[in-house]
Amino acid sequence: MKVSLLTAGKDKQYVLGLLSGLVSHGIPVEFIGNDEMQHAAIVKNRNVRYLNLRGDQTGAASLRAKALRVLKYYCRLVSYAWQTESALFHIQWLNKFIHFDRTLLNVYYKALGKKLIYTAHNVNMGERDGKDTFFNRITLKCLYEIVDHVIVHTEKMKAELIEGFKIGPEKVSVIPFGINNTVPNTPMTPTEARRRLSLNAAEKVLLFFGNIAPYKGLEYAIEALGELEPNYPDLKLIIAGRVKECPEYWQRLEKLMKERNLDDRIMKHIHFIPDEDIEIYFKAADVLVLPYRFIYQSGPLFLSYFFGLPVIASDVGSFREDVIEGKTGFICRPEDGRDLADAVHRYFRSGLYHQLEKRRESIKTYAEEKYSWEKIAEKTINLYRNVARMPNNPFFAKCSQ
């Protein structure tokens, strides 16, 4: 069995983790990547055929150059699909023109006789981002109908697909999100990490990490910091990540920081954090805060577990299933800065904080056992085999003859 992993050049940590799990089981993979991914050690594996169809994805290019490289990518992708002997396409992310990808591009793949598996990392990103439309839902419905099978990461996501898009339960499999183990993890100590960020050992440090967007509820972390500030004179919040196409939202957050007189309590690293710097933040912090208003699944949570850092998360998505109270973190009410402050207070009074270095190791062990890429790949490969045995949709079988 040969599998094509279509990544659209996105989510390097996830797709490389999945690739590592697949090849550990001896599965031949044709991996569609970009310039950045081609340097990863795993793509040199003898079971991997690496195809850099996406090429350069840096933002420092003219509009004309960006349009040309996207057009070239689609031409390469269409040509690849025509020529490859791989019969199973596992689509991880859609490309630039998502409505075209959801409909006509997938129809093309099916007309070529390909079996399609789609990983819905977000069942409906438009709803999450507050940009849902009738056309968005129609093309999503087409996508879920055209593909042979859909992978989601939680039971709640499966329920939404079944109820919201009327997809049969037999067509949906729940396979957990894997732990992020592709970023560097050197012998750097928490003391050294704090030195690099100009933090001292006595300070208590909250970390908000990742893209900044309204659905992530960063304002509640700022409000919680304001609630805690009188009783925790050594408390700081690090915000590390770039603003994701929402400058007005970030302006509101900066205004809130000033209104609460919290500028000296907040370290703002508002830019893309390269892989080689990620460990600095997770080793310097005492806890990761995820005050999300809406989420399907969170990459930063599994990144935090990789470094053994506890998590305080709002009760949305599957956080309640992924965060074990008192052992890997704490849960708070969503959209409630005061309850988040109470959860932070509970954390700093708990054994989880007072025995943090010891507990870091137990969190890492828990994550490696439950979310290892080897186990996730095993479930994925079983699904590949089941889908490969399925008969073709009669319409598409006729098209491919």
In a domain, 184, yes or no: no
CATH assignment of the domain containing 159: 3.40.50.2000
215 lies in the same domain as 227: yes
Do residues 160 and 201 both lie within one domain? no
Please report whether residue 217 resides in a domain. yes
For the stretch 13-57, pLDDT in tens is 899 999 999 999 999 999 999 998 999 999 999 999 999 999 888
pLDDT band at 398 (very low <50, low <70, confident <90, very high): very low
Query: Do 164 and 239 fall into the same domain?
Result: no
- Mean pLDDT (the chain, rounded): 92
Query: Does position 255 have pLDDT exceeding 60, yes or no?
Result: yes
Question: Which residue range is the domain that position 55 belongs to?
Answer: 3-178+372-400
pLDDT score of 13:
87
pLDDT of residue 348 exceeding 50, the answer is: yes
Q: Has residue 345 been placed in a domain?
A: yes
Q: Are residues 121 and 243 in the same domain?
A: no
Together in a domain, 169 and 265: no
- In this structure, the answer to whether residues 163 and 210 fall within a common structural domain is no
Same domain for 385 and 319: no
Indicate the pTM of the whole model. Answer: 0.85
Reported as a single tens digit per residue, the pLDDT across 182-205 is: 888 999 999 999 999 999 999 999
Tell whether 147 and 210 lie within a shared domain: no
10 in a structural domain: yes
| Per-residue pLDDT at 394 exceeds 70 | no
149 and 286 fall within a common domain: no
Same domain, 174 and 199: no
358 in the same domain as 289: yes
Q: What is the mean pLDDT of residues 158-163?
A: 94
Instruction: Band the pLDDT of 268: cuts 50, 70, 90.
Output: very high
Q: Are residues 30 and 152 in the same domain?
A: yes
HEC per residue, the chain: CCEEEECCCCCHHHHHHHHHHHHHCCCCEEEECCCCHHHCHHHHCCCEEEECCCCCCCCCCCHHHHHHHHHHHHHHHHHHHHHCCCCEEEECCCCCCHHHHHHHHHHHHHHCCCEEEEECCCCCHHHHCCCCCHHHHHHHHHHHHHCCEEEECCHHHHHHHHHHHCCCHHHEEECCCCCCCCCCCCCCCHHHHHHHCCCCCCCEEEEEECCECHHHCHHHHHHHHHHHCCCCCCEEEEEECCECCCHHHHHHHHHHHHHCCCHHHEEEECCCCCHHHHHHHHHHCCEEEECCCCCCCCHHHHHHHHCCCCEEEECCCCHHHHCCECCCEEEECCCCHHHHHHHHHHHHHCHHHHCHHHHHHHHHHHHHHHCCHHHHHHHHHHHHHHHHHCCCCHHHHHHHC
**Greater model confidence, 400 or 384:** 384
**Domain count of the chain?**
2
